[in-house]
Structure 1
Amino acid sequence: MAELHRPDLVRTAPPLPAARRVPLLSIGAVLVVLTNAVIFVVPPLLPVIATHYHLVTLAQTTWVYTALTLGGGAGFILLPRLADLYGDRNASVLASAFLTLGALIPAVGNSYPSLLAGCLVMGFGGAAQLLPLGFLRRNLGERGITAGVAVLVIATGVGIVVGMIGGGLIVQNLSLRSFFFILTAAFAVTTVASYATIPHTPPAEPSGRVGVVGTVWMIGWVAAILLTLTQGLVWGAGALIPLALGVAGGILWLRVERKSASAVFDVSLMKTPLVTAACVCIALFAAVNSAYLLLVSDYAQVVPATLRPADAYGLGLSALQTGWLMVPFAVTFLLGGAIADRPAANGRGASMFVAGALVSAAGLAWLALAHDQQWQYLVGAAVMGLGCSIGYAAGFAIAQRAVPEEKAGMAAGVAGTFMAVGFAVGTALISADLSVSVTPVRGTGEEVATADLYGSGYWIAAVVALLVLATLVVSRARARRRLA
């Protein structure tokens, strides 16, 4: 397969002195770890949130996750582009300020409406995880792309595990309100550190501008699709309405953006077969990632003694113990980025997608067959961390190398938007699977999925991983037609 590798588009910036590189890399890692930790701290906290705010329905509880997802969809579109147009420091400080405000709202308000408002704001600021791709590339010279992708991938894996373990610690030791005050303080410190650490340089694309209509339009159709994926089970057939509006709005938006003088994203970038394939692959790996995490966290925390003997399953772990079960995932996430870096830089990104997909599918097949012992999850976590990180590293590297330095934020935003949709798709698929058949929890009135649905859920996720291979076949066919 022909790869897109354009050294002429990689403008080399004057590298920073060595003494300033470590702080810059560190603040990049902090932004990624914190934003991912916030997302993955939510699942262990959902029971505590339901009790604290006296929520009685599934619809109310899932709106917490939906608010984070919708805010993230808007942030992924807008914040990386603002970094291109108004400077990396300004965008990073703005994102950190949104995170601080988002945590402060539920801490002060201490009510369910304030929680939803805070999650929406924090979700928007969560796009800060994409900003290191831009400011590391623009400040570390020719190695900036490699450094940015490595920080994003490695810190994402760490952030996922930190969030899950942190959620368990909060459940056991802290009140919900105390947690939000601590989170506010952490984000406030990050805001100050971003201002002090990230160099204030002229905007990478000073003559560009954000098309207001196109941006709002894109946020609208992406939000409609994300809303369907996160609330579909609750709304039933009614969810088809925002889905139809989102798909139709996206198609019309794409046609209009092709002729726009101030396009949100450079549509010509997406015409490149490999870049389109890379973004689709990122979405598929994100779907696999979220499906895997949901299946593990659900199964591990079911207490066998609370079910009828004929239906009993689960590991009976606490939220904290479930988080520790994910540590191998973070460890191998560190390795995957290093493995994919050089091949992706040398034009062999497609081979890394194949490797990541096959490794992920193997890990999911293992868990489909063996998921009733803790050691089996430790093995599965290690395999999944490796496969997902290889795929993410290859995808983000390809997207970055397809654009000049002044559009690094735009490329990160495109890839990040696909990632957000992929996470929502994976969650929706597994939520639907685990809702097909339920069994009652004795003495509570609650219900959990029947045991066989976890095996089918892992097989569904394995099929999603293998769709990466189909995506590459289609991309190869497109490239041949263009050359014919």
Structure 2
Amino acid sequence: MTEIHPQSGPGRPGTARPAPNKAVLIGVGTLLIVLTNAVIFILPPLLPIIQAQYGLATVAETTWLYTALTLGGGAGFILLPRLADLYGDRNAAVAASTFLAVGALVPAAGDSYSTLLVGCILMGFGGAAQLLPLGFLRRNLGADGITVGVAVLVVATGVGIVVGMIGGGLIVESLSLRGFFIILTIVCAVTAIACHAVIPHTPPAERSGRIAVLGTVWMIAWVAAILLTLTQGLVWGIAALIPLIAGIVGGIAWVRVERRSTSAVFDVALMKAPLVTASCVCIALFAAVNSAFLLLLSTYAQITPENLRPADAYGLGLSALQTGWLMAPFAAAFLIRGTVLERALFNGRGATVFVIGALISASGLTWLAVAHGQQWHYLAGAAVMGLGIRIGYAAGFTMVQMAVPEEKAGMAAGIAGTSMAVGFAFGTALVSADLGASLVPVVGTGLDVAAKGLYGIGYWLSGLLALLVVVTVLVSRARSGRRVCAAAS
């Protein structure tokens, strides 16, 4: 069973801090998470406008925007939560919001493709702010800190995804790109001010700790190499094996060095705790399922059947805004409070919760693999998928948080967040490869789209990812059982 570290009330022993306003603190945490997820998911509906406005000749150039966001996010997930542990929650939240504001300001001022790429890197780094509420809510809400923090993260993530997709559709219909980035700059700046005003300015959670510069840079490098492969692999072809191999070898070497380090980036003992490593793998798998589902839905929904040859025709012909509304049941499912499942997590039955989330997700994907030709098919599937992924995320982040004391809450969030980033990139790469396997022409445009049958294959592949969660849990429990037997003997 995962070691559960008790909460220490509104403050750690020996520190006196005023009790924060719980509702306001939760509100700021929710704002951070919704904003950062909306920034990520507002991009897909804007890609056609970006390609036309900046005269991008190929789709490959537009995919670099995803890559820039992903690489920036990979670094942010590693650094920002750890900065919160070492330098205080308020400082980390203000810094993250400032990165978001500056990232939006750069393309607003420059209004060019190059400035947009730079802005995406900065916004990707600041986007790791979505993990910070796990730390400052846990440290300021006492015994309920983990439960509330994870609930806020999960609920606000679902809301942020749909807000982003709907917001992107509204921007396509009524705003220019420059106008959008100006508004986003203002919103992020206001968020930074709110973080400074609301999040308590407390002493660093880990007074004697420090950031291991070499280990951190090394980790960012090998994670970035893997993320780069997953986001650009289809474009680069066989050349993508170079960063992939470099990332895998670098990661293995990093783990070996970290095990012997006296100032490890992540606590090696944490990763050895029962179900913690498995929880990180499960978070990555749920994130892969999440991204695969979103990509399959948004792509199919926005293809107009009249633009294809009759033999190839498929799609719903929806606008970006209408596609966003189609995702509403997904967000609604994230709002469901799973009190019984939360109790099961704190009673040491996290493996069971993972399996429940995986089977629900697999059932939703099975449904969509068979029925994805009508809007109501997606409305039903999105509700089921939202529930399954919500359970999986909640279980993963809770299990990792329960394994550490509150002064290392940021480090635990960083481990889980990095796993989520890698999983999200993998799911996107998997579905992109599937949808690129066979193409049909769009009449009169010279463009191609995926063949109709590939969507069913994509949903089946995503269902296998969900079932891998069950395999991961079973393997973890078997290994834990062997360790217990070995210790007893």
* TM norm structure 2: 0.97
1:189-236 deviation digits (Å, cap 9, x = unpaired): 000000000000000001100000000000000000000000000000
Distance in 1, Cα, partners of 2:470 & 2:328: 28
Structure 2 residue aligned with 1:483: 484
Structure 1 residue aligned with 2:438: 437
SS in 2 for 1:224: helix
Question: Which of 2, 10, 13 lines up with 1:13 in the alignment?
Answer: 10
Q: Is the 8 A contact 1:84 1:204 kept in 2?
A: yes
In structure 1, runs of 5+ residues without a counterpart are none
Distance in 2, Cα, partners of 1:286 & 1:445: 34
SS in 1 for 2:427: helix
1:239-279 deviation digits (Å, cap 9, x = unpaired): 00000000000000011111112111001111123000101
Q: How many pairs are equivalent?
A: 481
Query: Measured at CA, do residues 472 and 19 of structure 1 come closer, stay the same or move farther in structure 2, by a change above 3 Å?
Result: closer
Structure 2 residue aligned with 1:39: 40
Distance in 2, Cα, partners of 1:358 & 1:434: 25
SS in 1 for 2:311: helix
1:153-202 deviation digits (Å, cap 9, x = unpaired): 00000000000000000001100110000000000000000000000000
Greater mean alpha carbon deviation, residues 336-345 or residues 193-202? 336-345
Q: Is the 8 A contact 1:287 1:464 kept in 2?
A: yes
SS in 2 for 1:359: helix
The alpha-carbon deviation at position 463 of structure 1 amounts to: 0.3
In structure 2, runs of 5+ residues without a counterpart are none
Structure 2 residue aligned with 1:374: 375
Structure 1 residue aligned with 2:199: 198
SS in 2 for 1:439: strand
Structure 1 residue aligned with 2:76: 75
Structure 2 residue aligned with 1:232: 233
The alpha-carbon deviation at position 12 of structure 1 amounts to: 3.3
Distance in 2, Cα, partners of 1:97 & 1:21: 24
Say yes or no: does 1:223 pair with 2:224: yes
The alpha-carbon deviation at position 7 of structure 1 amounts to: 4.0
Q: Is the 8 A contact 1:228 1:240 kept in 2?
A: yes
Distance in 1, Cα, partners of 2:325 & 2:241: 38
Q: Is the 8 A contact 1:5 1:347 kept in 2?
A: no
SS in 1 for 2:265: coil
Structure 2 residue aligned with 1:154: 155
Distance in 1, Cα, partners of 2:175 & 2:19: 40
Structure 2 residue aligned with 1:242: 243
1:38-89 deviation digits (Å, cap 9, x = unpaired): 1111111111111111111121010000000000000000000000000000
Structure 1 residue aligned with 2:145: 144
Distance in 2, Cα, partners of 1:448 & 1:338: 43
Structure 2 residue aligned with 1:174: 175
One-letter amino acid of the counterpart of residue 169, structure 1: L
Distance in 2, Cα, partners of 1:192 & 1:7: 32
The list of structure 1 runs, each at least 4 consecutive aligned residues, that deviate by more than 3 angstroms after superposition, is 10-19, 336-340
The alpha-carbon deviation at position 396 of structure 1 amounts to: 0.3
* Equivalent residue runs for 1:16-415 within 5 Å: 20-335=21-336, 338=339, 340-415=341-416
Q: Is the 8 A contact 2:284 2:420 kept in 1?
A: yes
Identity across aligned pairs (percent)?
Answer: 70
Q: Is the 8 A contact 2:26 2:137 kept in 1?
A: yes
One-letter amino acid of the counterpart of residue 238, structure 2: A
Query: Measured at CA, do residues 272 and 5 of structure 1 come closer, stay the same or move farther in structure 2, by a change above 3 Å?
Result: closer
Query: Measured at CA, do residues 352 and 17 of structure 1 come closer, stay the same or move farther in structure 2, by a change above 3 Å?
Result: farther
Distance in 1, Cα, partners of 2:337 & 2:439: 37
One-letter amino acid of the counterpart of residue 432, structure 2: S
Q: Is the 8 A contact 2:289 2:465 kept in 1?
A: yes
Query: Measured at CA, do residues 339 and 109 of structure 1 come closer, stay the same or move farther in structure 2, by a change above 3 Å?
Result: farther
Greater mean alpha carbon deviation, residues 269-278 or residues 434-443? 269-278
One-letter amino acid of the counterpart of residue 124, structure 2: G
The alpha-carbon deviation at position 392 of structure 1 amounts to: 0.3
Q: Is the 8 A contact 2:40 2:164 kept in 1?
A: yes
Query: Measured at CA, do residues 239 and 352 of structure 1 come closer, stay the same or move farther in structure 2, by a change above 3 Å?
Result: same
Q: Is the 8 A contact 1:150 1:338 kept in 2?
A: no
1:299-350 deviation digits (Å, cap 9, x = unpaired): 0000000000000000000000000000000001111655532221222111
* TM norm structure 1: 0.98
Greater mean alpha carbon deviation, residues 264-273 or residues 27-36? 264-273
SS in 1 for 2:55: coil
What's the C-alpha RMSD, in Å, of the aligned pairs? 1.2
One-letter amino acid of the counterpart of residue 126, structure 1: G
SS in 2 for 1:335: coil
